Amino acid sequence: MKGRPSDMRNRFTKIIALLLCAAMMMCVFTGCAEEAVNTTEEASARDFDAGRAAYAADEVVMTLEGEDLTWDEFYNWICYALANYQYTYGPVSDFSTATALGNMSDAIIQEACDYIVMYKAVEKKAAELGIDLPADMEQQIEEDWDASLDSFERDEEALMEYIKEYYGSRELYEYTFKYNSISPDLFEYFVGADGEKLTAAQIEEGSEGYLMAKHILVQTTYEDTGLVLEEDDMKAAQERIETAYALLEAYEGDDLEGYFDELTAQYTDDEGFLSYPDGYLFQQGDMVTEFYTAAKNIEEGQYSDIVESAYGYHIVMRIPVDVEAVPMSYASYGYDYSLRFIIAQLVFAEESESWMDDVTMETTAAFDKIDLTQVFPA
């Protein structure tokens, strides 16, 4: 079945884009994606009207669920796929550039097919479950359009130029607006808005590979220069970490983690302690090797021997994984997604895979002739 991604099963997590890409695309109209618009200035110079005229508007290029899709309609999806691709990877200047799928033309056409299938899958599943579009959807669209006009100083012609680049047409803008708005309802139906519907088994499986730990760090470099401590300062650092370790060894109470926290507040040089008082949630590669290995080699509730890394001396205490915590791989980039929510995304993506498999797409001979090097000549 040409036009359908051959590796869909390995790429099904793209369905999550329906929950997230709307924010990016609509940023253009609220002014918050000015930087993104600037990164595609070269692409914006394309003649999108000429691109649409590259083939006969009414020529059928595929059938979707038994309904004809013309070149004019498919072209809108090409614009949408291209805009999303460029937002993520940067401007596309030459569609003949080689890619894993052949060339950049093939890649963008395939992306367009992917988006068509994903949106149709959401549309079908929502109808099947009785999840309706909001009664005021048309009003929402009009209000959004009006706000977009404000962003373009009420210049509708300027707004339409951006619509051409990002959606191809207002019709696709409205269609994606509708089903981007309903995707969170599907997400909530299956896994809960924040993943609260996940089963214990799903959480256990999704948490595999994650560790959580606290540590006491005594640095062996100077904060201001990064240079290794002089002999006397190094000796003082060794004495500090050994003192903290001796106190842990001597502790006989019933709240070892609480006592570890007290010693951390007293002895650690890790500024992250204030931001992550409940510990770090991480996978291999997120932390320095010595830290990761120390945590992996002890049981929950235990602390390590003194270990040394490029940062200094550590005493690591492993604690149970908290699915409400934010993994370091996300937190370090400013994202506030809990492990529970991340697992929920993956579970939802797996669920949605079957929806896409149920969407029937058949391409025509006209589809085989589509070449973006001709649609958007360099």
For residue 49, what are the domain limits? 8-199+337-375
Residue 44 shares a structural domain with residue 185: yes
Contact by Cβ (8 Å): 91, 42: yes
**Alpha carbon distance 340, 317 (integer Å):** 22
Residue 192 to residues 186, 188, 294: CA-CA distances in angstroms?
A: 9, 4, 35
Query: Do 281 and 344 have their domain in common?
Result: no
Q: Does 78 fall in a domain?
A: yes
Q: Is position 356 within any domain? A: yes
Same domain? For 169 and 238 the reply is no
**CATH code for the domain of 71:** 1.10.4030
Start-to-end Cα distance in the chain: 30
Same domain, 363 and 311: no
User: For residue 299, what is the domain's CATH number?
Assistant: 3.10.50.40
Distance CA 12, CA 358 (A): 13
Count structural domains, the chain.
Answer: 2
d(CA 92, CA 14): 20
DSSP-derived secondary structure for 93-133:
--TTSEETTEEHHHHHHHHHHHHHHHHHHHHHHHHHHT-PP
CA distances 34 to 16, 147, 156, 292, Å, are 24, 16, 18, 40
Give yes or no: residues 72 and 154 share one domain: yes
**271 shares a domain with 364:** no
* pLDDT tens-place values along the chain, 378 residues long: 333 333 333 333 344 444 444 433 344 343 434 444 444 455 557 999 999 999 999 999 999 999 999 999 999 999 999 999 999 999 999 999 999 989 999 999 999 999 999 999 999 999 999 999 999 999 999 999 999 999 999 999 999 999 999 999 999 999 999 999 999 999 999 999 999 999 999 999 999 999 999 999 999 999 999 999 999 999 999 999 999 999 999 999 999 999 999 999 999 999 999 999 999 999 999 999 999 999 999 999 999 999 999 999 999 999 999 999 999 999 999 999 999 999 999 999 999 988 999 999 999 999 999 999 999 998
Query: 187 and 82 share a domain?
Result: yes
Predicted structure pTM score: 0.79
Q: What are the residues whose beta carbons fall under 8 Å from the beta carbon of 12, sequence distance 6 or more?
A: 349, 350, 352, 353, 356
Residue 327 lies in a domain: no
Is residue 329 one of the residues assigned to a domain? no
Cα R_g (the chain), whole angstroms: 27
Are 77 and 18 part of one and the same domain? yes
